[in-house]
Amino acid sequence: MAKHEKLSVGIVIERRELDNPWQDYRWTPVDVIPGIVIEPGSEWKKLREGDGWVHFLIGSREIELFRGETEGYRSNLSNDPPRIYVVLNPGEEADDPEVVPFMVTVCPYEGESYTESGENIVEGVDMPPEIIGWVQAFIDKHHVDAPFLKRKQKKAYDPRKGSQRPRPRVDQDKREDS
């Protein structure tokens, strides 16, 4: 039984003109297209445009599902609508575009972890129905409810109470060797 599954998606972003002296455009993921595979370094494809905005198909990435992360997927599918989180990085080289696709995920916890640096663009886009079905089938096959285990609190050393600091336990074999 496969422990993880993959599905390639094309990434669609919007370039919106801004009236801002420090920034010309805002880049935002707006859609994913299931089943699209685009070679890295391929030219962007203009899909549609309007007054002050353009949508581009900029590349593809794989959504990966892992058995141990089904709780996050379940949480996502409980949202209306479920989301696919797209992570874009700023282009680093002189010949790179302003943004490059980094990853896509259906786990909201993983998506959130990429917001911490402040450099990435992380946005959720609506999850297409065929991906919802694929994720739900994976959850149905692999999810196991984990029981809640409450940890017992260890007693802290308090010098005011005159108790002795707990000593590390030494195995009997180690004491005999000394």
Residue 35 binned pLDDT confidence (cut-offs 50, 70, 90): very high
Q: What is the pLDDT of residues 65-124, one digit of tens each?
A: 999 899 999 999 999 999 999 999 887 777 778 889 999 999 999 999 988 887 889 999
pLDDT at 61: 96
Structure-model confidence comparison of residues 145 and 73, the more confident one? 73
The 3-state DSSP class for residue 93 equals coil
**How confident is the model over 46-58, as a mean pLDDT?**
95
Q: How far apart are the first and last CA of the chain?
A: 50
Contact 122, 115 (CB under 8 A): yes
Contact 72, 108 (CB under 8 A): yes
Closest by CA position to 98, among listed 150, 167, 23 = 23
